[in-house]
Structure 1
């Protein structure tokens, strides 16, 4: 059995890093895990793996461990950025590349297919994770918890870990633009939504609006998952556009729910809170200016997303109209050709200026009777 030889690249060259970035990341993760085995390095290794800044609070149910944010979170986020890069490479190599070989897509469609495949897998996992955390913490069954007892400085383990992983995933998307050799024309579009996700998630985490951010991420994940699934089915069959219609309905409903929850939580819920003083040391930012700025940013972002959605739908409608017009023209041309053939068969054909029938004989002329 013959084996194909892989191309060898110079060590630490650009091509070497691109083709082996997942292996380099796995080596880093392995070093951190080995550090857990020794007492000297265990404390440092735990900073990479586990969330930091924990503190125990005495409650009626007993002592509960809570977390808050700090500078050491950057180290933990870095570790999970590397984990996200490894998972990205696994999904790409063992799932998406095998599907691409069967579909035989063009380079442009293949790039879009890989992008949607990765994001569909992420949003599916994020959707179920958000749903589980929101249900177990009681944010869905008791909506008043979204604004009660603000500021939400102390977070349960699963809430803090969820936000760290979300930030790690969207930060890993930045070097993936280099690793996946994304075209320059596609970079601004992808950078746009990566930066928007980072700003919204980091804003909810740092402004102590984690409960509201969790519900909004759940709604966003549902809409985004449906959109990328619709794109995947569209690349396999361009006539399959029903999922885009379903996504359009879900997208509009998501925008309405996002604005409603934001106004209800920030505009009404926090406005009725007992403390309205600006105290960054305790994490309290509940002032009129703070609420107005946050609501303004939320309205601007949702309005911009709706404008992009309307622009996308109009472009899609124009393309559909052009396709229908082209089909009608092709049908009309085919009908005209068919009618011309029928007329030609009925009237015969010309030869040397004389009309001949189909069998080649000259048609008999009718005699005109004299009056």
Structure 2
């Protein structure tokens, strides 16, 4: 009689397994509580702080009243709320997209984790590239490139620029607890922390130092390069013969690094050195002194050099693997060709031109029958 299958038991309430499996549902409940708070007058003001960017300032212009936004301590509350929103979206993409794709591909555990990482980052960088492109066009960065450094400090932000930065900070901050929720392997944690830390450093630096215009342009360049890389890796997992996207990504990556360095030197090194305010004033948001500019350039250049070093190592490793694969194929082809040229011999072994039987004696010559 066949034994009955054991049913999987639900993990204990508030245990580690419970939090990992249900963290998105728990966060969804918190988001619903905030949204319910909007329905009551007593809690509406507090709930609104979580949802909408704060520190707004109204300015009267010829076209009417225009609302701009500054950064402040209330941004932490808004970022916390959108961390919860990001966790929910992360779980939706994972469950309804990536998990189904993993079931079809039957990948190894290592490739399974990399496919999940690439799938999530494709959604992020595609959204970021489109959003940054819209900001660059609507804010007039294309028609007037000098606005990247003119009228510094850029403390007055439009709604979409501030919301863009808050969403990016929320996403990369949410990536830290996701290392625990996704059960990332210990070998990958250091690499992931470097990746997340660099994004948080550069995005928060551009936001706090009032270099938001330059930051949007650089994030667009970075998002395009990262998007192409993760698309190439996704196609590689689906079909290992699809490696053309890696070649296209290699070109875009190098061009992006050069454009990033050029823009950083142009805006920070030359542009900010010619603007009116050359002082350090936290209250007015001015951080335009020579040591700060040198620190910004050193950070950007060091990061770009580190990324190029990793890129060169990656390309060298791919080249070595390709050469080893080609050598193995040639060896197998040579062995198969050599086997095809083997001549069939009579039983026994040859010695000094004579055929020897298995026991070493010469075979007896057959007698010819008389006609």
Using the alignment, how far apart are the partners of 1:13 and 1:175 within structure 2? 16
Using the alignment, how far apart are the partners of 2:112 and 2:42 within structure 1? 48
1:123-202 matched pairs, under 5 angstroms: 123-202=125-204
What SS does the aligned partner of 2:286 have? coil
1:1-371 matched pairs, under 5 angstroms: 7-340=9-342, 343-344=343-344, 348-351=345-348
> What are structure 2's unaligned runs of at least 5 residues?
1-5, 357-363, 367-371
What SS does the aligned partner of 2:319 have? helix
Superposition deviation, residue 6 in structure 1: 6.0
Contact (CA 8 Å) 1:355, 1:363: kept in 2 or not? no
Superposition deviation, residue 303 in structure 1: 0.7
Using the alignment, how far apart are the partners of 1:5 and 1:98 within structure 2? 23
Using the alignment, how far apart are the partners of 1:240 and 1:254 within structure 2? 23
RMSD: 1.8
1:168-219 deviation digits (Å, cap 9, x = unpaired): 0001110110001111011101111000000000000000000000000000
Using the alignment, how far apart are the partners of 1:7 and 1:284 within structure 2? 58
> What are structure 1's unaligned runs of at least 5 residues?
357-361, 365-371
Cα 1:142–1:349 shift into 2, 3 Å: same
TM-score by length of 2: 0.92
What SS does the aligned partner of 2:132 have? helix
Superposition deviation, residue 7 in structure 1: 3.5
- Tell me the equivalent position of 2:361: none
Using the alignment, how far apart are the partners of 2:209 and 2:250 within structure 1? 31
What SS does the aligned partner of 1:282 have? coil
> Any runs of at least 4 consecutive aligned residues in structure 1 with deviations exceeding 4 A, and if so which?
351-356
What SS does the aligned partner of 2:271 have? helix
What SS does the aligned partner of 1:37 have? coil
TM-score by length of 1: 0.92
What SS does the aligned partner of 2:311 have? helix
1:235-281 deviation digits (Å, cap 9, x = unpaired): 11222211111100000000000000111111111111012121111
Using the alignment, how far apart are the partners of 2:258 and 2:365 within structure 1? 77
Using the alignment, how far apart are the partners of 2:116 and 2:295 within structure 1? 37
Using the alignment, how far apart are the partners of 2:158 and 2:365 within structure 1? 99
Superposition deviation, residue 60 in structure 1: 2.2
Cα 1:271–1:363 shift into 2, 3 Å: farther
